[in-house]
Every structure is written in structure tokens, then in C-alpha cells.
Amino acid sequence: MAALYVSAVRTLRTRSPLFLAPRRFQSALASMKEILEGELEGIRQAGTWKTERVITSPQAASITVEGTEGNILNFCANNYLGLSSNPEVIEAGKKSLDSHGAGLSSVRFICGTQDIHRELEQKIAKFHGREDAILYISCFDANAGIFEVLLGPEDAVISDELNHASIIDGIRLCKAQRFRYKHKDMQDLESILQQTQGCRMRLVVTDGVFSMDGNVAPLRQICDLADKYNSMTFIDECHATGFLGATGRGTEEFLGVDGRCTIINSTLGKALGGAAGGYTAGPKELVTLLRQRSRPYLFSNTLPPPVVACASKVFDLLMEGEANLPKKVAENTARFRKKMVAAGFTIAGDNHPISPVMLGDARLASEMSDALLQRGIYVIGFSYPVVPKGKARIRVQISAVHTNEEIDRTVDAFIDVGKQFGVIS
């Protein structure tokens, strides 16, 4: 009898779906792990592995990093104005914890809108000279949430081929006819505008500043073409808002075309305090429709009060006359670029604080950045897929709070390491 029981159990284990399912799951899981480990090993072998260094201090021009000794000069943050750890900004965040709490536990339209959210949106609209503005949890969400709402199958969206990934993903979500023009190529843009004249609406989309190269969009020519062909313009200002232009109004101010872009999307997570958040600024009707239909806005929690308060304080500082900060960014940028070029390095970009040191080889960029860290300079090598193959670089970013001595020390470290790796002689 016992033998019959054992035989029956063995049969169940080999034939029953209840027993086979875990075995199949284990097989699928093992297969997935094997595939993913192959992908990971490929990244390691290519020299493009990205290691997350651990910072043990507030974000600033000088930081402490796990595994190193002493202070490290930070030359790779988006902290363009140096306000991420500004005492006034931090104090504003602390006060909001007492007055408005840590978070809202809600999306905006249910019970997630406080007075400070609307106040910040009004400040953003005023800062950019637009009718209204709407906050998102990030600019990635702002870019993901606009095109689907604004454009339909009878419309066309025309995008620079090197626009940010968030713009590309956002455009994929909409049903408009999609076109890409060659990077900063106005002849190609005009050709597409001519092809699409039968569309109901057309939107030309560009980054204000392209973050990997530090080059600035030819915004005047883009706006001229948009006017000529009765089209709208959209600009992503994440690497311009707060510091580009005399008062930090961004690419429009920098190029003298104030107010000509139809829509501005930007971030609170870089120059404007560096915490989190993004926004759309533009026509009131568009902003109102986004509040009704934009999925990232409707289905994501509202920005936490401390983040709102910190960003609001930064706008106060900018609008109350802290124009010396954008000026200081420009001066520091000019100093770094001039000294690096004189030393023999190739620096890409258009006199923007994003100052890519072009190297070409991915492994070289990674190993040089590690060597610079040993000399007390925090920079990161960028390679494929973040930038095209063969275009690896160390992306240096300049801040208003970097001193002349810190810039000169960084250039000297680049010279030493550049000679060590044979980049310069």
C-alpha cells in the first residue's frame, strides 16, 4: 500500500500542473537571469559600466564622497546657481514642514493642492512672462504629459533629432504625425514645415540647451520659421532656466527672443534648488486642459511642500535681483573653457556651463574620471548609450559658487591626468 502511495505522489509531481508550475517558473527565472547577466557583462566589457558614487554631504561645490578622504571638488552637478544647499532655501523648506507638512498623500485634483502650489505656479508664469503654469513631479513627467493632450492625428510634431529622451518618450505617446529634423538644421526644418502645411496644428519641439553637448538651439531662426509657416514652438529649458541670460530667464533671454516660444517646459531639479519637480508654462487654455487630461499630472502625487517652498524661495531670489548669480556662472564658464582649450583639450558646446571634454573612447573617459577623483575632482565619464558611440566625454559642469582657485585646480588636475593618459602632450 505504501509503495502505491509513493508511486502516485511521484506521478503527480511529474505530471500535475500544480507541481510543474514552480519548476517552470524556476526555469523561466533562471533563463531571465542568464540573459540579463549576459547584458551586464557586455556593459562591463565595453567599459561603459556606470558606478554610483555615494556622497556623504549636502550637494555643493565641495563635497565628501564615500571611500575618499577630505573634501572633493564637485564639477558635474546641475547645481548651476549653487543653491541646492543655500541657507535661505533650506530654511524655507524647514518652515514649510511645520506649516504645510511633509506631503499631501494625494494627487492635485483630489486633495493635493495647497496655497503654496498655486503661489509657485503663479511665480513661474510671471518669471517666464506667460499666462499660466502647471507643476509636475518632474520635467520628465511634464514632457510625458503634454504632447498627448495637445496634439491629435490631424496635427504634426516636428522634433530636433537630439532632443532629450523625455521629449522622445512624450512624443511617442501622442497620435500626431511625427517628424524629426537634423540637429539644428534649419533647412531641414523648413522642408518639413513645407511638407506639413495641410495639418491642423504643428508644433516645433527643441531643447533650449542640449545637455550632452552644451550647445544652444538656434531659437531665433526656429521662431522665425514657425511664424512663417504658422506653427507653434515648444522649448525644454532644463539646462537654461535660472542661469542662462542676464537674469536667468533662459534661452529666450540669452538669444534676445523673449516671449516668442509658445510653450516652455522646465525643471525645478537643477538650477532652481535642485530638489525635484517640473512645469509647463504657456497659454492659459493649454494649462487648464493639462489639469483636466494630462495623465502624469492626474495620476502622480503632488510635489511635497518642502520642495515647493525651496523652489519658491529660489524664484524670489532671482526675481528680487540676484542677477549676479547668472553673471558669475558665465564668468566661471569662460575661465574654465579658456584654460582647458589653452592646455590642448577639445571642449564642445556654445560657451555654456556644460563643458564636455571630448575623448572619444568610453573606457578612457571612465578611467580618466576615476583618476581625477583620486586627485580630488568629482567628474563623470559619459559614453554610449547616453551619447553616440565614439563620442565619449567627461562632462564638466560649472557653478556660480566655484571659486577661481577651484577652477584653476581642476584645470591643473585635468592637465596632469590628460598627460598621464596621452590625451595631451
Annotated catalytic sites, by residue? 211, 239, 270
DSSP 290-346: HHHH-HHHHHSPPPPHHHHHHHHHHHHHHHTT-THHHHHHHHHHHHHHHHHHHTT--
Sign of the CA dihedral with 324 first, then 350, 147, and 155 last: positive
Q: Which residues pair with 106 in a beta bridge?
A: none
The alpha helices in 47-102, defined as continuous H runs, are: 87-100
Give the angle subtended at the CA of 61 by the CAs of 354 and 77, to the nearest 5°. 40
d(CA 37, CA 39): 5
Q: For 103, phi and psi rounded to 5 degrees?
A: -170, 175
DSSP 3-state assignment of 265? strand
CA–CA gap between residue 425 and residue 418 (Å, rounded): 8
Burial call 360-390: b when 16+ CB within 10 Å, e when fewer: ebbbbbbbbbebbbeebbbbbbbbeebbeee
CB 266 within 8 A of CB 318: no
The DSSP annotation for 141-166 comes to: HHHHHHHHHH--TT-EEEEETT--HH
Cα dihedral 20, 21, 26, 29 in deg (nearest 10): 140
H helix runs in 349-392, sequence order: 362-374
- Provide CB contacts within 8 A for 219, sequence distance 6+: 206, 208, 235, 251, 252, 255, 257, 260, 261
φ, ψ of residue 369 in degrees (nearest 5): -65, -35
**Residues 417, 425: Cα–Cα separation, whole Å:** 11
| Eight-state DSSP code of residue 379 | -
Beta carbons within 10 angstroms of residue 80's beta carbon: 31
Q: Are 170 and 145 in contact (CB under 8 A)?
A: yes
